[in-house]
């Protein structure tokens, strides 16, 4: 078995020597495929069943590739293949889809029958236009994109995908230095009372002023931080910076009692040290605990959801608030959030953006208004982009909202004129 730490191109570069002589006009495909969560099979059914599964998967890959192809086991359920004789890009796409389907079919084992999701990345070209080595690099770029999406997907290489992969590599390479280098910044977005325009809260949104990529949004690097274990450092910086800024605003505008909301990554919530961290930041900044709200997402999908719930409960005991962000997306559900110690429910923008025209979303929002009233939670609509949505939300009984139409995220200095008045322009709500 090939060393699982070896990248696909390193293991597959010998493919050219293994393949028969090919003409420059030959059309060749490179494929990288990964089968997810194999450890769960070992844990549940034992290592013998895990080995059986891997043997069957490799057999399926080799049968799929056929004679004249080159297949290598990259370890831990990842396989690479060089397949000549593909007649054009549609044939390569069809081959990738066939590989995905075959590997995701159930496998009968001694301990039962299992089904796994797979991620496939592929690239195709005539050899006169790209070498085998270049094709393998391209397939790995596509594979990286496939791995970032939900399971059971096949992604083909495109030039844009390569640019995205290079940008992601830049992010991963320099992320840890961003904090010490002073490259991270916070932008702030108000949450508004749609009845009066009053500012009720301000969310701190992390940005990275990258030296070559420009201003990078959190969505583009937080997933990298979670994979590399850098979220704790980034989260500590964001919490400390946001609380210090809110304390400064409190000194400047003591009559404004809006809450500062700070996002926390689910993996960090499993660590009991977060309690001491929040306690220390509140003491350091002098910010009253009731003016701090931690925003969390998909916490019950964390490695130890019980630990997360316990930590959230302890944070609330400090006097801080907890908001469940992006409700309705990912792993969120009414059944799950009912057991969570939260104060605020934020509706995912997917259920807000099409109001009032969408027939289903008003029903969902109305239902959440009723539930949150029963459970005495604040309900916030995210992603408000126009006056029509404001009117629809008010009619449905949801009067707390956030979105670019009301106020776009901005650096602290740009937000201060708005905070000095304590409200957005009333014309946005009634004009």
Domains along the chain with CATH numbers: 8-157 (3.30.70.270), 169-430 (3.20.20.450)
Q: What is the average pLDDT score of the chain?
A: 83
Which pLDDT score, from 0 to 100, does residue 274 have? 92
DSSP character for 312? Answer: H
User: Is 80 exceeded by the pLDDT of residue 186?
Assistant: yes
For residue 16, pLDDT beyond 60: no
Alpha carbon distance 340, 355 (integer Å): 28
Residue 178 pLDDT greater than 70, yes or no: yes
The predicted structure's pLDDT at residue 43: 65
What backbone phi and psi angles, to 5 degrees, belong to 382?
A: -100, 155
The C-alpha atoms of residue 14 and residue 96 are separated, in whole angstroms, by: 22
Model confidence at 315, pLDDT cuts 50, 70, 90, reads: very high
Tell me the pLDDT band of 166, cut-offs 50, 70 and 90: low
Q: How far apart are CA 47 and CA 111, in angstroms?
A: 11
Would you state the pLDDT for residue 323?
A: 94
Please report the pLDDT score of residue 95 as a whole number: 93
Q: Residue 221 and residue 228: Cα distance in Å, rounded?
A: 11
User: Nearest CA to 190 among 427, 393, 384, 387?
Assistant: 384
The pLDDT assigned to 348 comes to 85
* Partners of residue 292 on adjacent β-strands: 260
For residues 243-272, average pLDDT: 92
Contact by Cβ (8 Å): 278, 271: no
Residue 338: its pLDDT value, please? 64
Lowest mean pLDDT, pick from 11-15, 151-155, 186-190, 385-389: 11-15
Q: Is the pLDDT of residue 4 over 50?
A: no
- Band the pLDDT of 22: cuts 50, 70, 90: confident
292 — pLDDT class (breaks 50, 70, 90) = very high
Q: What average pLDDT does range 111-116 have in this prediction?
A: 74
- Residue pair 259/321 in contact (Cβ under 8 Å)? The answer is yes
Q: Identify the weakest region by mean pLDDT among 40-44, 165-169, 402-406.
A: 165-169
Kindly state the average pLDDT of the residues 64-76.
85
Average pLDDT in the 362-377 region? 89
Residues facing residue 30 across a β-bridge: 82, 123
Mean pLDDT, range 327-354, rounded to an integer: 73
- Bridge partners, 27 (sequence order): 126
> Which segment of 64-78, 301-315, 403-417 scores lowest on mean pLDDT?
301-315
> What pLDDT does residue 394 have?
94
E strand or H helix at 72: strand 70-75
| pLDDT, position 232 | 81
Q: What is the pLDDT of residue 258?
A: 96
Helices (H), 288-346: 305-317, 334-337
H or E segment at 349?
none
Residue 382: pLDDT above 80? yes
Res 415 pLDDT > 80? yes
Quick one: average pLDDT of 247-255?
96
Handedness of CA 277, 278, 281, 286 (dihedral sign): negative
Percent of the chain with pLDDT over 90: 40
Question: Which one has a higher pLDDT value, 169 or 91?
Answer: 91
Please give the average per-residue pLDDT across 242-265, as a whole number. Answer: 95
Measured CA to CA in angstroms, residue 147 lies from 172, 188, 264 at distances of 16, 31, 23
Q: What pLDDT, on a 0 to 100 scale, did the predictor assign at position 6?
A: 46
Q: How far apart are CA 55 and CA 60, in angstroms?
A: 9
Q: State the Cα–Cα distance between residues 209 and 369, nearest whole angstrom.
A: 38
Evaluate if residue 142 carries a pLDDT over 60: yes
Q: What is the mean pLDDT of residues 266-282?
A: 90
Give, in order, the Cα–Cα distances in Å from 96 to each of 88, 121, 126: 13, 8, 17
* Residues 341, 322 contacting (CB under 8 angstroms): yes
Looking at residue 220, the DSSP 8-state letter turns out to be G
Output the CA–CA distances (angstroms, integers) from residue 411 to 185, 214, 414, 415, in the order listed. Answer: 8, 15, 6, 7
pLDDT at 47 exceeding the cut of 90: no
Task: Name beta bridge partners: 120.
Answer: 33, 154
**Farthest CA pair distance, the chain:** 79
3: exposed, middle or buried (Cβ count in 10 Å: 0-12, 13-18, 19+): exposed
């Amino acid at each position: 078995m090939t060393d699982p730490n070896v990248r696909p191109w390193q293991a597959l570069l010998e493919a050219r020597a293994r393949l028969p002589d090919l003409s420059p006009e030959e059309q060749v495909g490179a494929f990288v495929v990964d089968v997810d969560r194999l450890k769960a099979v070992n844990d549940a059914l034992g290592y013998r069943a895990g080995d059986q599964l891997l043997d069957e998967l490799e057999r399926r890959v080799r049968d799929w590739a056929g004679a004249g192809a080159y297949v290598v086991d990259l370890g831990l359920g990842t396989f690479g293949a060089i397949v000549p004789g593909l007649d054009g890009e549609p044939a390569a796409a069809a081959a990738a889809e066939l590989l995905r389907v075959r590997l995701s079919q159930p496998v009968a084992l001694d301990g039962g029958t299992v089904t796994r999701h797979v991620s496939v990345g592929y690239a195709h070209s005539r050899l006169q236009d790209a070498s085998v080595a270049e094709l393998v690099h391209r397939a790995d770029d596509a594979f990286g994109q496939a791995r970032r999406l939900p399971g059971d997907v096949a992604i083909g290489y495109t030039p844009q995908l390569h640019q995205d992969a290079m940008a992601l590599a830049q992010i991963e390479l320099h992320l840890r230095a961003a904090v010490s280098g002073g490259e991270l910044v916070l932008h702030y977005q108000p949450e508004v009372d749609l009845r009066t325009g009053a500012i009720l809260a301000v969310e701190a949104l992390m940005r990275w002023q990258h030296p070559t990529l420009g201003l990078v949004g959190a969505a583009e690097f937080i997933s990298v931080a979670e994979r590399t274990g850098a979220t704790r450092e980034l989260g500590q910086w964001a919490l400390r910076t946001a609380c210090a800024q809110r304390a400064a605003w409190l000194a400047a505008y003591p009559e404004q009692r809006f809450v500062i909301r700070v996002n926390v990554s689910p993996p960090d919530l499993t660590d009991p040290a977060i309690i001491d961290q929040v306690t220390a930041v509140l003491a350091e900044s002098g910010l009253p605990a009731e003016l701090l709200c931690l925003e969390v997402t998909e916490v019950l999908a964390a490695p130890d959801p019980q630990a997360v719930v316990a930590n959230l409960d302890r944070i609330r005991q400090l006097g801080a608030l907890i908001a469940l962000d992006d409700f309705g997306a990912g792993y969120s559900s009414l059944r799950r959030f009912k057991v969570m110690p939260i104060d605020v429910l934020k509706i995912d923008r997917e259920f807000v953006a099409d109001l009032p025209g969408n027939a289903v979303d008003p029903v969902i929002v109305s239902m959440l208004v009723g539930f949150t009233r029963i459970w005495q939670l604040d309900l916030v609509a995210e992603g408000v982009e126009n006056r029509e949505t404001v009117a629809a939300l008010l009619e449905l009984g949801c009067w707390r909202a956030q979105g670019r139409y009301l106020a776009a995220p901005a650096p602290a200095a740009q937000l201060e004129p708005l905070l000095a008045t304590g409200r957005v322009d009333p014309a946005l709500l009634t004009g």
